[in-house]
């Protein structure tokens, strides 16, 4: 467990540090640059293959529900040998991208792997993005996606909420919002490199110590101003570290040891445990932000996805058992 990152991990981190990180760090925070970033990320996503053993079905349900809810669009990823009707559970996966870029397609390497390893379908909604649609628009879309699953017979006890980076923030905010709206809570919450603190105070303090090859706290803070829109950071649903996390389901948090958001993940795990939640925090030594997306090439990412699938199977098994709350450092 004391081994350092693999050779592949070090090589990819070095390439990102020299190429992608400078691009993201100096990208101006205005609409034109955001459109450029979206096009670049979408093109790059074509290079990341998803598993051929799953079906990726386009989802476009424009008809609002009986309660006047929002339409649900995105992807439904299903193992090829899975039953078509009445799945016993599902993973609602909310992609990252700082609330401004990315899509369900960019995150197929994660969602397809989850579908394959868990045997469950994955709902990856295409939620609205900032700056055109600032918060809480993404949260409203996430609630609509959860309601969509319930309306189609997926029991809340079989649903795991999951997300990476900004999608991790959105998944956690969704968990709290379900409670506020009186909806049944999910079986579990799974976060990959969550962007917990949109004010970026914690990450700014950690920036001088972290060797994150991918993102910087400065760029995250610039993007956050676009996300919150004219209302600023006053919406209490944004502040994950000060929420009252009562009656939480089991939580798994995976974070790279080298990333600038590590301190946020640690602070969130502490907040959850103080509230009495079962939280397993995994710190993967030497890994970058959302390293899980490289699970077809990185041994650490593949191992992390196996742990993630185990968590999903455990909390949706109906046994009532929770993963033991703990803090772990992980290596390849």
Helices 299-315 and 108-118: angle between axes, nearest 10 degrees = 50
Strand partners for 255: 283
Q: How many domains does the chain have?
A: 1
Mean pLDDT within 252-269: 95
- In this prediction, residue 17 carries a pLDDT of 47
- The pLDDT tens digits of the residues spanning 136-169 come to 999 999 999 999 999 999 999 999 999 999 999 9
Mean pLDDT within 14-36: 57
- In this prediction, residue 5 carries a pLDDT of 73
d(CA 179, CA 171): 13
Residue 312 lies inside a defined structural domain of this protein: yes
Residue 51 lies inside a defined structural domain of this protein: yes
Over 90: is that where the pLDDT of 320 sits?
A: no
Residue 199 sits in a domain whose CATH number is: 3.40.50.1820
- In this prediction, residue 124 carries a pLDDT of 98
- In this prediction, residue 141 carries a pLDDT of 97
Residue 2 lies inside a defined structural domain of this protein: no
- In this prediction, residue 22 carries a pLDDT of 46
pLDDT, greater one: 287 or 2: 287
pLDDT-derived band at 54, boundaries 50, 70, 90? very high
Over 90: is that where the pLDDT of 304 sits?
A: yes
Mean pLDDT within 25-29: 52
- In this prediction, residue 207 carries a pLDDT of 75
- Domain residues for the domain of 199 are 7-330
DSSP E strands: which ranges in the chain? 54-61, 72-79, 90-94, 122-125, 159-164, 188-192, 251-256, 279-284, 326-330
Mean pLDDT within 42-53: 79
What is the rounded average pLDDT for all residues in the chain?
A: 87
The catalytic residue positions are 165, 259, 289
Strand partners for 256: 284
Residue 154 lies inside a defined structural domain of this protein: yes
Q: How much is the pTM?
A: 0.89
Question: In degrees, to the nearest 5, what angle opens at C-alpha 195 toward C-alphas 124 and 17?
Answer: 100
Residue 264 lies inside a defined structural domain of this protein: yes
Residue 117 lies inside a defined structural domain of this protein: yes
- In this prediction, residue 67 carries a pLDDT of 55
Over 80: is that where the pLDDT of 106 sits?
A: yes
């Amino acid at each position: 467990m004391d081994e350092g990152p693999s050779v592949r991990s070090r090589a990819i981190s070095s390439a990102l540090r020299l190429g992608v990180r400078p691009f993201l760090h100096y990208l101006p925070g205005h609409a034109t640059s955001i459109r450029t970033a979206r096009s670049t990320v979408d093109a790059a996503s074509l290079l990341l293959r998803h598993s051929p053993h799953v079906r990726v079905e386009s989802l476009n349900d424009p008809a609002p529900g009986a309660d006047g809810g929002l339409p649900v669009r995105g992807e439904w990823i299903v193992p090829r040998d899975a039953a078509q009707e009445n799945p016993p559970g599902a993973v609602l996966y909310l992609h990252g991208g700082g609330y401004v870029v990315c899509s369900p397609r960019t995150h197929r390497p994660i969602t397809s792997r989850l579908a394959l390893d868990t045997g469950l379908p994955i709902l990856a909604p295409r939620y609205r993005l900032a700056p055109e649609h600032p918060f809480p628009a993404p949260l409203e879309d996430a609630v609509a996606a959860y309601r969509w699953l319930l309306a189609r017979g997926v029991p809340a006890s079989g649903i795991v909420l999951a997300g990476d980076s900004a999608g991790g923030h959105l998944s956690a905010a969704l968990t709290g919002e379900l409670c506020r709206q009186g909806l049944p809570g999910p079986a579990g919450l799974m976060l990959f490199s969550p962007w917990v603190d949109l004010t970026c105070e914690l990450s700014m303090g950690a920036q001088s110590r972290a060797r994150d090859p991918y993102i910087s706290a400065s760029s995250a803070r610039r993007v956050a101003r676009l996300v919150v829109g004219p209302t600023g950071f006053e919406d209490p649903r944004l502040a994950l570290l000060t929420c009252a996390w009562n009656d939480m389901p089991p939580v798994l948090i995976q974070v790279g040891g080298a990333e600038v958001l590590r301190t946020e993940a640690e602070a969130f795990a502490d907040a959850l445990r103080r509230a009495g939640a079962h939280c397993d925090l995994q710190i993967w030594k030497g890994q970058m932000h959302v390293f899980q997306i490289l699970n077809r090439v990185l041994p650490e990412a593949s191992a992390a996805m196996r742990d993630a699938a185990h968590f999903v199977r455990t909390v949706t098994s109906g046994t009532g058992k929770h993963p033991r709350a703990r803090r772990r450092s992980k290596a390849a």
